[in-house]
Structure 1
Amino acid sequence: MGVVVVTYASEATIEACLFRLLAARDVARVVVIDNASPDGTAAIVERLARRDARLALVRNPDNRGFGAACNQGATAISQPWVAFVNPDAFVERETLSRLVAHATARPGAGLLGVELVGEDGEVDLASRRADPSLREQLASLGRRDALYLGHDPAQVVQPVDAVSGALMLMPLGLFVRLEGFDEGYRLHAEDLDLCRRVRAAGYEVVVANDLRATHVRGVSSRVRPAWVEWHKHRGLWRYFRKFEAADTPAWLVPVLWLGLWGHFAGVVLADRLKRLRA
């Protein structure tokens, strides 16, 4: 299989991430797309690439966004399976090969994820998600509890609406047929969008409940938190326009827009107040 890793200001975790990927079974190629990191990320990858011919680095002159960089990396993959792994996600030696085995044993599985856990071992609820609804999220004042589907212990491979973009695996042919990630998303919601389009094409999105990967989360976003929040909210609005707006009363659309960006302002203000107190 081939693996695509998109980096931005990832020097704290990228070496550990790549060390594990290159040690993983059946990984034939790892392509790192660096979105103009301002730190030493690219230098670390270059050093590792000199030691292992399977590793390649592409340095973008600017930040193209996550989805666009994933698509860029996938063009350098010729293996039948492509995995997208965040630079702050750490796999075990058998994680990806066993995920491929699950996929081949389950006809119709089009996109697969694993259970993600934090460094403290706590399960990331985003590992198993329902399709989001902007209307429902704003009605609940931003609470996302209803979006998280529980772990079904009776199923080794559990169908869900969406998995986390921190680790996704799918057949390269299907990824190409769906034209990859929607590059209109800069950051956030592009994984939800891809999962939805995989299901619309007649395939399953599933989580392998017997496989885990550690996800540190938020390493790159700590550099520019307000910028990240802006793109998260922008991504949610794009997702709403694509999948929910047609079934939303016209009078409600501007109300949702105001609610979304009011939520953004509140999040940014709260973060700045927290930093001032620290």
Structure 2
Amino acid sequence: MNSLTDRDDAAGIAAVVVTYESASTIEQCLQRLRAAHGVVEIRVVDNQSSDDTLDVVQRHAIADARVRFIANPDNPGFGVACNQGGITASAPWLAFVNPDCLVEVDTFTRMQALIPAGTRMLLGADLVDEQGVRDGAARRHDPDFAAMLAAVLRGRSPPSLDVPIDDAQSLQPVEAISGALMLMPRALFQHIGGFDEGYRLHAEDLDLCRRARAAGAQIAVANAVRVLHVRGVSSRSRPLFVEWHKHRGLWRYFRKFEAPQRSIGQQVLVMLAIMARFPLAWWRARRRCR
């Protein structure tokens, strides 16, 4: 693949999986990826798991030469680990897959088949939980910080980023997709410089999608391609950590994309709005984890 617009329907896919305390799902995840059509490389990057995650990964690496792994001595963050996996892969396509996402045999080939020839596209799937409930975060708007600020000032919940599902479209254009599962040409990933490693956890997918759009790529969801997403496996035991980094990520996103067009006063108000949103989000996350 020599340019961003070159396309080969039969092109191989490198699946990149970032793990952290993922022992409960990584076995199934890797089994599914090894069976998936089109997958020629599997790169697992572990961020200092203390459970049996690496034992499972090592067993798969021994059984299948496509599986290689990096065991980080610390936890440098999701974006750093994604880049580590993406850089070590050589296949023309990259699929970033959470360890709690369980793909089907034809997931990636069906997604590839939907991408029009000559189109630069970052593509997501229809994510569903164990009860078949569809994940609204699979289709998202860019964060609207003015609306967030207005909601906080009125004592209301911030507006959702979720985009309504339109099943009439096999490819639904959106501004952003979930980082739980992303398929893109490796050339596009390289062109935009991969993930921004300044995000520790969360919002790096919003950032990646925004930069991909700025580079001329389209963002879309394959509405008919469903993937099981076992939600929150590695984050249920640490809601404070997760919510803190969600809000830290939002602030970084704002500073990067929105702050240059805002006055100092507006920037301070947005920072306060993000801070005010954090305690309620943490409390709700704690309740979900009980």
TM over 0.5: yes
| Shift, 1:270, TM fit | 5.5
Amino acid at match of 1:181: F
Amino acid at match of 2:46: D
Is the contact between residue 181 and residue 194 of structure 1 (CA under 8 Å) also seen in structure 2? Answer: yes
Q: Does 1:213 align with 2:227?
A: yes
Q: Deviation string for 1:106-155 (max 9, x for gaps)?
A: 4323200011111110010111111112231242344343x221222332
Q: Which runs of 4+ in 1 moved over 4 A?
A: 269-272
Q: Helix, strand or coil: the match of 2:183?
A: strand
| Distance in 1 (alpha carbons) for counterparts of 2:135 and 2:202 | 16
- Residues 27, 211 of structure 1: alpha-carbon distance in 2 compared, 3 angstrom cutoff: same
| Distance in 2 (alpha carbons) for counterparts of 1:61 and 1:34 | 9
- Residues 65, 142 of structure 1: alpha-carbon distance in 2 compared, 3 angstrom cutoff: farther
Amino acid at match of 1:143: P
**Count of residue pairs brought into register by the alignment:** 274
| Shift, 1:275, TM fit | 9.3
User: What is the match of residue 125 of structure 1?
Assistant: 136
Map 1:17-32 to 2 at 5 A.
17-32=29-44
Aligned Cα RMSD in Å? 1.8
Q: Helix, strand or coil: the match of 2:39?
A: coil
| Distance in 2 (alpha carbons) for counterparts of 1:213 and 1:143 | 28
Which of 8, 11, 14 is matched with 2:20 structurally?
8
Which of 137, 156, 176 is matched with 2:148 structurally?
137
Map 1:16-165 to 2 at 5 A.
16-103=28-115, 105-140=116-151, 141-145=156-160, 147-165=161-179
| Distance in 2 (alpha carbons) for counterparts of 1:222 and 1:138 | 28
Q: Deviation string for 1:2-22 (max 9, x for gaps)?
A: 010000011111111111111
- Aligned-residue identity in percent: 53
Q: Deviation string for 1:39-65 (max 9, x for gaps)?
A: 111111111211111111110000010
Amino acid at match of 2:158: R
| Distance in 2 (alpha carbons) for counterparts of 1:260 and 1:251 | 14
Is the contact between residue 23 and residue 51 of structure 2 (CA under 8 Å) also seen in structure 1? Answer: yes
